[in-house]
A and B are shown apart, each in its own frame.
Chain A
Amino acid sequence: MNAMTENTIRQEQIESLCRMMAGFSHDMKNHLGIIRESNGLMGDIVEMGGLGEDEQAMERFKKSIAAIERRVVLSANMFHHLSRLAHRSDTPYSSFQLNDLIGEECAFLERFSKLKQIELVLELGDGLHPIYSDPSLLQHVLYRLYTQCLEQMESGSSLVIITGQEGKNMIITFRLLATAQLDITKLAGETLLSAIEKLNGILEPGESTSEYTDIRLRISSLSLEQ
């Protein structure tokens, strides 16, 4: 792979992270907005005469407390995923569980699905071996494929991400429900295909029926921990 392609992959990798971070910051602003308004509402109730015997005020107060608690938990989860996602690039190659990587990345992808009104469903296979690969680059490839799948889909449909293992290969299937067959080479583009190649991976068409179209990403582990 030439230096120019390496640089382009690197640039696109940074772009992917930036877009995920932009989505993350939007989500966090929403959580903080709700915490601020709920806290403000409690302050309003206290300032406007306290709870006293006012059952409606008490109900609003309790709802605000519950909303703050819920949003703090959601925010803490997002930060947990952010920390895991960010640390994936600590070492260029490492051994990791594919399902963990997909789970943490999807915490950031759900927002994009929601905006396009597409349901994101995970069907993570059981008992997959750890994979030895470049987790940060794989995050980028998954993000790109995911966003390109979304672009092809109509609102109201579902995107299912399925993981499995075939011998030493990890298989990640993007199942696009209610979507006609796609030309995956056009979908991916040259740089993304180079990034997949760098991962010892292959992007291939999967099963296609009248109900869905599958796109399969096959990743070979450099050495699988048994």
Chain B
Amino acid sequence: MTDIKLLIIDDEVEFAATLCQRLQLRGIDATDMHSGGEGLAVLEEVAPEIVILDLKMPDMSGLDVLAEIKKYDPTIEVIMLTGHGSAGSGIEAMEKGAFDYIMKPVDLQELLEKINSAAEQRSKA
């Protein structure tokens, strides 16, 4: 799973930064940004293959950011982070182009599996 370029976009700074460090320790080239606008602004510089994206953020909704990412590069795979108790919002995001979703608090093993699947999907693109 090494060498994957991954971008985390979540307004919870401590969460994003810590998750980023844990992924880096596993050899993933991870970067964290803390708003939808910031995340979109670094797309060109970071050139992520996979984006982990929070669904609810103050400046832009995760669904709006997802649409912008897909407009920029449809091959970027997006895994949505949702705090909702039901899967409804995650499924809605998948209908709008997200690769998958994961609920908070995140199970790292589950997330790593989803990252792996997303990387495989991306390599087929």
Interface size class of B (residues with CB under 8 A): 10 to 19
**Does A34 have its Cβ within 8 Å of any Cβ on chain B?**
yes
Interface string of A18-52 (1 = CB under 8 A from B): 00000001100110111111101100100010000
7 sample A-B contacts, Cβ–Cβ < 8 Å, listed by A number:
A32-B105, A34-B15, A37-B108, A40-B108, A60-B21, A114-B58, A115-B56
Are B58 and A37 touching (Cβ within 8 A)?
no
A38 vs B14: C-alpha distance in the bound complex, in angstroms? 9
Which of B14, B56, B85 touches A34 (beta carbons < 8 Å)? B14
Which interface residue of A25, A26, A34 has the most chain B CB atoms within 10 A? A34
Within A46-74, the residues touching B (CB, 8 Å) are: 48, 60, 64, 67, 71
B83 touches A36 (CB 8 A): no
Q: Tell me if B's interface is mostly helix, strand, loop or mixed.
A: loop
A117 to B11, CA, bound (A): 12
Interface size range of chain A in the complex: 20 to 34
A115-141, CB < 8 A from B: 115-117
Docked pose: A59 CA to B74 CA in angstroms: 38
Interface residues of chain B, those whose CB is within 8 Å of chain A, are 12, 14-15, 18-19, 21-22, 25, 56-59, 83-85, 104-106, 108
A residues within 8 A CB of B56?
26, 115
Q: Using Cβ atoms and an 8 Å threshold, which residues of chain B touch A30? A: 12, 15, 83, 104
A115 CA to B55 CA in the complex, in Å?
Answer: 12
Cβ-neighbour of B22 out of A33, A40, A116, A117 (below 8 A): A40
- Pairwise interchain contact B21-A34, C-beta atoms closer than 8 A: no
Across-interface contacts of A34 in B (CB, < 8 A) = 12, 14-15, 18
Are B105's CB and A25's CB within 8 A? no
Contact of B18 among A32, A48, A67, A115 (CB under 8 A): A67
B59, A117: Cβ atoms closer than 8 Å:
yes
The answer to whether A48 and B25 touch (CB under 8 A), given A33-B106, A36-B106, A115-B58, is yes
Quote the shortest CB–CB distance from A192 to chain B (angstroms).
26
B25 to chain A, nearest CB (A): 5
